[in-house]
Every structure is written in C-alpha cells, then in structure tokens.
A and B are shown apart, each in its own frame.
Chain A
Amino acid sequence: MSSQAQAPPIDLVLDEYTGAPRRGFRLLIGLCWVFVALVAFLAVFGERVAADAYGQDLATGISTPSVSHPLGTDDLGRDVLSRVIVGARTAVVGPAVITLGAGLLGGALGLLAGYRGGWSDNVILRWVDLMFALPGHLVAIVVVGVLGGGYWLAVAVLILLSSPSDTRLIRAATLEQRPRPYIEAARVLGLPGRRIAAQHVLPNLLPLIIASVFLGFAYALLAMTALSFLGLGVGPGTADWGRMLAESRRLIFHNPAAALAPGAMIVVTAASMNLVGDWLAERLSDRGRAQ
C-alpha cells in the first residue's frame, strides 16, 4: 500500500531542506552545458573557426599572449589558440567512439550475462574479472607501444579495456530488473528472451546507460590524452590537447599560456561532462516519479 510516507525525490536542483531552487547549482549546470556544446561545436567546425593551426612562423618563435595571438605562440611560432580549437576534434571524437563502442560491447555482454544467467553469465564474468585484474593504463601503453601507436589503435584498445565496467553495470541493473513483475508477465506470455531483454529490460536501463556514457566520456578523454601525452596516440606535431601538453611543457616559463591552455581544456571538459552526466542521471531517473 502506497499510504506510507514517501520522501520526495532528492533533487540536485532543489535544496532538500528548504525546497528552494539551488541558484548556484543551476547556473553551474547551465555553464557546463554551454561548455560541452562549445567543445562539440569546435570538434565539428574547429578547422573553419581557427584559420591556421599548423602554420609555423619560426621567425616569431615563442611569444606571450598578444592581440594577434590571444594565447601567444609556441616554440615553432604556431598560434596556440588555433591549436587548442582544432585540438577539440581529437579530444571529442576518440572518447566518443570509445564510450559508444564500450557501451555497445559491454552493454550487450552485460545484458546477456544478466538475463540469460547460467554458463553465459559465468563465462562473461570471468572475462570481466580477467580484464579488471589487468592494470588498464599500463596494458594500453604496452599494447599501443608494441603495435606502433596510432590514434585509432589506441581507441580500439581503450574500447576493449573500458567495456568490462559497462558489462558489470548493465549486468547488475539487468539482475535487478529480472524479478520485476512486468518482466515475469512477459515471460508468462511466452515472449522470446531476446525480445524481453531488448524491449522490456533495456528501455528501463536507458537513464543508467546515458549517465554512464557521460561519465565514461570523461574517463576516456583522460585516457586518450594520457596516451597522446606519452606520444602513443596521435602523431608528433598534431594539434591534440595531450600532445600539446607534452610538447609545450618546456615552454612553461616562456609562454605559460601555451603550456596551461590544453591542460585547462582537458580538466574543464572532463569535469563538465561529469556534472552533466550526474544531472542527466537524476533527471531521467526522476521522470517516472515526478508526475
């Protein structure tokens, strides 16, 4: 009986004690959305916005911020702002492919393990255990290093390495769905297992999946930039935040902006994605209750 006291859902947007909107938080989430949209825009149109990310001007060399170069130039005289803008593409595309790929692979395995149970569950879980036992970053470095590096190789390795956590997440959520009466009703109707998993379990996991995509994106961004920083991702000289961070380290005393800007972009993008993911997760899981 639903007559028992039901606490209202705790909302990030509202203060749980006064019930008043949390001004600061809404503003923060708004800013995060704007920033995420900006980075996404730059990933698509970055090369049109920033005219020249690769033009060298050895005569100028390093320069501090000025009107013509708002973030100054690096040691080859390249405009840092343009490079940061163009670098948005590798920062977004790789992690996006990784989270989607890992989500598809890991999610499918998780759904299979959770719904079928039995030996499929056993086999998949042992695979997950094995992957968790490996030190992810180290394996990525070794594998990408041995196979000769490259952006898409790094992406592929990271998909494989980050899918197990999705598998666990989706498997646990599937197990929680399985004994629900609407799933059992579908079984009593005699619907095939594939259909129940796809039509009845999966739609109820969507909020979770969307949230985990956003959170996973931040992780993938950090992993990709780390590989690039170590010279294993993109090729030398590419406008990529990780690569720029590595190459501009030395310039910290000559043009601090060149060394700090890519790092700041990485941090702010990852943090924004995390907050947006949290916020979305709450919004989506409240959708049914709020009415």
Chain B
Amino acid sequence: MTRTSKVGGRDEEVARGAGPALLDVRGLRITSRIGGRRRVIVSGMDLALSPGETVGIVGESGSGKSMTARAILGLLPPGLFAQGTVHYEGRNLLELPERALARMRGADIGLILQDPYTMLNPLLRCGRHIEDTLRQRDKSWRGRRAHRDEALRRLEEVGISDPSVADRYPFQLSGGMRQRVGIAAALARDPKILVADEPTTALDVTTQKESLALLKSLQSTRAMGLILITHDLRIAFSMCDRVYVLYAGSLLEVGTAEAVEAEPLHPYTLGLLLSEPPATRRVSRLVAIDGTVSAADDVADRCAFAPRCKWKQEPCERGKPPLADLEGARQSACVRIDEIRGEIGELRRAAERPAEPVGVLAPARPLARVENVRKVFEGRAGRAGIDGVQALAGVSLEIGEGESVALVGESGSGKTTLGRCLVGLETPTSGGITIDGVTASDYGALSVQERRRLRRTVQMIFQDPYTSLNPAHSIGFTLREALRVGPEGTHDLDGSASELLERVGLPAAYLARKPVALSGGERQRVAIARALAVRPQLMVCDEPVSALDVSVQAQILNLFKRLRGELGVAYLFISHDLAVVRQVVDRVYVLHRGEVVESGPVDEILDDPHHPYTARLVASVPRSDRDWLSGQP
C-alpha cells in the first residue's frame, strides 16, 4: 500500500502506546439475541490502551460505544454476547468466570457512569460508598477510623474538602458533587484503568468542565489508563491522547487527537467536525450529515457510513472495509481515502471561513412582553418549615415580531419555567405577560376567544423528541388534530398535513407512520410541524436539539433557520448550549437563579460578557484544544 504523508507521523510512541499495552482489545464483536433474532451491535472493534494514556471512544447514539465499555468489564446486559479477546495482564477477560471478573472490577478496572443520580445508592451516606470499597481492597482488619480517614482523604483528592460531605446522603448533594463522590468511589481501590462512560453528559456545562479537569488531573497524577466514552468530539480532543471514532458498531477512524482534529481521514469524522456548531461565530448554514444513524445490524456487511456518505461508490458496499494503516499511526476504514483526501481537506478549510455578522435588525414591533414575572412553587401545603421554591424572581423580557431570542442558563435557572409560563402550562405567581396584545398571565382567566387566539399565536417545542409525540397515534392523526384547531379550518386536512411534513423536510408517506418508526431527528421535525399547524407567530423551543445527535442537530438547527426565513416566526430559544444559541438567535437573555443578569445582542454577550456568570458560561463551552481544561473557569 502506498500512502503519502502530509501530516507527518508525530508522536508515534503516544499513538502506539509506550511499551506493552495495558489493555488490548481485538476483534471485539457484540451481538444480541432477542426474540430469536441475532443482531450485530459492534463488530471488529480493536483498542489498545497504555499506562497513563487517555483514549477516547467517540460516537453518536447507537454506535455501540457504551456496549464496548460494558463488554470490557463483563457487564453486558442479558441477551447480549461478546466475542473476540480483551487482554489484560495476560488474561482474556471475556473468558474469565464472573467471580474473577467481579474481583477485578473496581480493583483493576474502575467504571464511572453517565448518571450521577443513580450511580450512588441513595440509602448509603457518601462516605460509606468509599469506605466499603476500601474495605474490599484491604481485607486485613483496620479500624473504622483508618478507613474513615482514608475516605476523607479520597474526597479531598476529588476536590471535596468539607468532611461533612461524607456524612451526607447522595440526594443532599448537587449533581457535580455526586459525580465527584462517584469518581472517588471508583478510584478507591486504585484501579489501573478507569472507564468513564459519558461522565459529564448529565451535568451542567460549568460543572462539566470542572469534572473533566478533575478526571484529567487524577489520571495524570496516578498514571492511570483512561477510556473516555463521549459523543462530543470537542471533549474527546481536549481530553484524549488518541481517539477512536465509532459509528453504527464499526470503527471508522483511529488516530492521535491532534492529527484527527487537524485532518480527519474519514468522511464521517469530517461530517462530525463540520456539523458541530462553532461557539465563536455564526455561520449562515451548518453543514449537516444527511439522513440518520443506521442500525449497526443493517450495515454489518458494508461500510457503516456508506448510506450517508456523499463519496459512496460501489466498492464501499461490497464488504465491510477493515481499518487500513496510514502514516503517522493513523487508521481509517474508508476505502477511498486516497482519492478523496484532498476534497476532505478542502471542505475542512472551507468551514474555517470567517464569521458572518448577525444582521442588525430594525427594532421590531414587540410581540411578547414579560414584565417582572415571579413564580414560586409552593411547598407542600400545611407542612411547616417548607417554603416554596422561587423559580423566577422578577424576570422581564421582550420578544419582537419575527425575532429570535435566547434564554440561556444552567439547570435550575428558571429558563424552562418562564417558557412554560408563556404557553400557559404554568401560571406566574405575580407579574404580567402580554402576547400579541392579549394579557396572558393567567390562561385560565381568559375568554374562550382570547385563549384560542393565544394558542394560535404561541406554540411550544419540547426537549425530548421521544416523548413529545403520542406513541398511540400516527403522524397523520397528530397533524390533522393540530390543523383542526388551527385557523385554516377542516377542509383537506390530509393535504395540509402533507404540506406541513414537506415544510419540515419529511415525505408525505410519513403520515401513516407511528412515532416508533421514526428516528429522534424525524420526530423532532414532526413536533415542529405540529406546532406550525396553527400558524403561530412565536415558538417557545425548550432545548429542542439537546437530545439529538450532533449530525442530526445541525439538520434541525438549519430547519429552524429556514422556517424563520420562510414564515417570519419568532423564537424563544431555551438552551444551555451557547454554541447552538449563537447559530440561531439575535438576542440573548442570561438567566441565573431566576433573574436576568445580562442581556443584549448575541455577539456582544458571547464575545464580551460583562457579568461573571455569563463569563463562566462562555468559558465552559467545550473547545477542541487542550488549553480549554487548564484555563480558569
């Protein structure tokens, strides 16, 4: 094979691992057997990890990244089976009996899971979680005191210096604190390998950055091997020495983080990099990967990315292309990489073009006005000592006609509550909301006509596409029902429903389908179509893309932009993701503990934040470079 080198094979040692591999996975294949049918979940997975190295497994949902981690630890759910070899210290972990594996987990290989809310036993105090693990390590009798002191030391290692935390129950701690306790417990027996499965996905952005920085420093001081599983390329690049790009159960590209970031050598990696919305500038149109993630089983006999690849040719579907070695210890599973390398490079450079300025908009006629809205969620009635929780502490904002406005903040900032007040799902405790001239503070107090008018003015898009459509009804039923309450009346409902689907980029044949047959992105499109059915002037979008894969997220963001151009609909975009916000809105309100701390045009706020909270939010947006984690929050 003749491959020419452009990138230069730097860090051969890092790439191949210095010395013998700590963990060596070869030909891992995971299959499921449910309902008598065999399905491939992961195939041909090779992975090597050296002591002190961090490798990232990057993939979207359905890529099999979590199952790979579980297979390494022998924790596959019932009905799933692993073949191949996983060598650790001369033993094949896949062949070890459960008892030997159980001894090994925690002691040799530690695991951190995604959800800090379920990782800890709610009935045990935080200190106990660590002490119990310590006792496992050290069977010799040591006093309670010694274990306790050690547990406190461990907590301090993960940045919890307050010893009283050890005596608290998990529910008394914040998500970030819980994740820290989880990390301390996972490290209590000083494992040589730590597997972290989406360790920060459930955390707020600022907490995410702190947790990642903590993991990174623990990993380097202990010279531990770290396998980081994430869907976020930026995080993988900033944390890892090498990355493995996984897609629909197949490994598509392997290389050092710097090299992959500089020059992706697989169309899928390129697509991922391009569809990531840039946090620092606005682009008129995001480059999205067409289609949706295939099921691993459907693409088991061809290049997994072929159905979505624009360079696809006949050889791509002839068989599963193996990973081929390229220069610089890089590997790519693209059979045409030699031919298309130049094109990939060009596209990558083209994406670096400068920001497009947000057009300065003439002040639009105000459509919705929120004045000094407070919302207190009452504690349990009649129970002493429980005060209400104040979600909104006097928020005022304005949305103009056809304007796109973002409400950003972390969880608990009250942003969702405000959105729900606007559509009448919550009623403010005090303050006023006016939408299109109608007082919308209390939907229940409105006349039937006024309420109908409001419903046709403001609609909502929910976060989770998997629950925002009724599973019992077809797409057609859902859309026809929405059209019937809209201003167009009831003539030719099917025709109007097809038009709606077309508007959001779906074929009319989807009318007959049930939501289960749709992917997450398609469901979100239907949810948007349903909201559009009543011809609203304002759409409240509550984290509409945060549950979607990156490659699909770009499609939906483009759809939002297009719809605004076509229909002149205004958005209230509720989001924690500043990179997403940058792409779709004109103005931003930053919400912190129920108060607007800063507001203004999106470029001004994100480029030059004045309030320290805004500055922290901006700094915590993941970046691909290594300085991101070392910088001050």
Tell whether B466 is near chain A: CB-to-CB under 8 Å. Answer: yes
- Chain B CB count within 10 A is highest, among A5, A189, A204, for A189
Nearest-CB residue, chain A, relative to B425: A184
A116 to chain B, nearest CB (A): 13
Proximity bits, B429-467, A CB within 8 Å = 1, else 0: 000000000000000000000011001100110111011
Cβ B62 vs Cβ A3 within 8 A: yes
Cβ B33 vs Cβ A3 within 8 A: no
Which of A10-18, A153-161, A258-266 lies on the face that meets chain B?
A10-18
Tell whether A2 is near chain B: CB-to-CB under 8 Å. Answer: yes
Cβ B452 vs Cβ A182 within 8 A: no
Tell whether A4 is near chain B: CB-to-CB under 8 Å. Answer: yes
A283 to chain B, nearest CB (A): 12
Tell whether A148 is near chain B: CB-to-CB under 8 Å. Answer: no
In the bound assembly, the distance between CA atoms of A233 and B452 in angstroms comes to: 55
Complex interface: chain A residues within 8 A of B424 (CB):
187-188
> Which of these, B198, B463, B481, B531, contacts A4 with CB under 8 Å?
B198
Cβ B471 vs Cβ A185 within 8 A: no
In the bound assembly, the distance between CA atoms of A11 and B37 in angstroms comes to: 14
Tell whether A1 is near chain B: CB-to-CB under 8 Å. Answer: yes
> Which of these, B80, B466, B469, B472, contacts A203 with CB under 8 Å?
B472
Cβ A189 vs Cβ B534 within 8 A: yes
A164 to chain B, nearest CB (A): 25
In the bound assembly, the distance between CA atoms of A204 and B467 in angstroms comes to: 12
> Which of these, B33, B471, B485, contacts A190 with CB under 8 Å?
B485
Tell whether B70 is near chain A: CB-to-CB under 8 Å. Answer: yes
Complex interface: chain B residues within 8 A of A290 (CB):
35
Known: A188-B425, A189-B455, A288-B471. A4 touches B36 (CB 8 A): no
In the bound assembly, the distance between CA atoms of A233 and B67 in angstroms comes to: 60
- Chain B CB count within 10 A is highest, among A14, A183, A206, for A14
Instruction: Report whether over half of chain A's contact residues are helix, strand or loop; otherwise say mixed.
Output: loop
Proximity bits, A279-291, B CB within 8 Å = 1, else 0: 0000000001011
In the bound assembly, the distance between CA atoms of A81 and B114 in angstroms comes to: 63
In the bound assembly, the distance between CA atoms of A200 and B473 in angstroms comes to: 8
Cβ B65 vs Cβ A3 within 8 A: yes
> Which of these, A3, A8, A288, contacts B34 with CB under 8 Å?
A8
Known: A3-B62, A4-B66, A5-B70. A16 touches B485 (CB 8 A): no
Tell whether A181 is near chain B: CB-to-CB under 8 Å. Answer: yes
B residues 166-223 near A (Cβ < 8 Å) are 197-198, 201
Complex interface: chain A residues within 8 A of B115 (CB):
4
Cβ B425 vs Cβ A187 within 8 A: yes
Complex interface: chain B residues within 8 A of A191 (CB):
481, 485
Nearest-CB residue, chain B, relative to A2: B61
> Which of these, A1, A21, A187, A188, contacts B231 with CB under 8 Å?
A1
B611 to chain A, nearest CB (A): 30
Nearest-CB residue, chain A, relative to B78: A16
B225 to chain A, nearest CB (A): 21
The interface of chain B, by Cβ under 8 A from chain A, is 32-36, 59-63, 65-67, 70, 77-80, 114-115, 197-198, 201, 231, 423-425, 451-452, 455-456, 459-460, 462-464, 466-473, 481-482, 485, 516-517, 520, 527, 530-531, 533-534, 547, 549
Jot down 7 A-B pairs with beta carbons below 8 A, ordered by A: A3-B61, A4-B114, A5-B70, A11-B35, A185-B527, A187-B425, A189-B459
10 further contact pairs, Cβ within 8 A, besides A3-B63, A5-B70, A189-B485:
A3-B60, A4-B115, A5-B66, A5-B67, A6-B77, A10-B78, A182-B471, A188-B459, A188-B460, A204-B470
Task: Please name the 4 residue pairs, one residue from A and one from B, whose CB atoms are nearest each other, closest first.
Answer: A203-B472, A190-B455, A181-B462, A181-B468
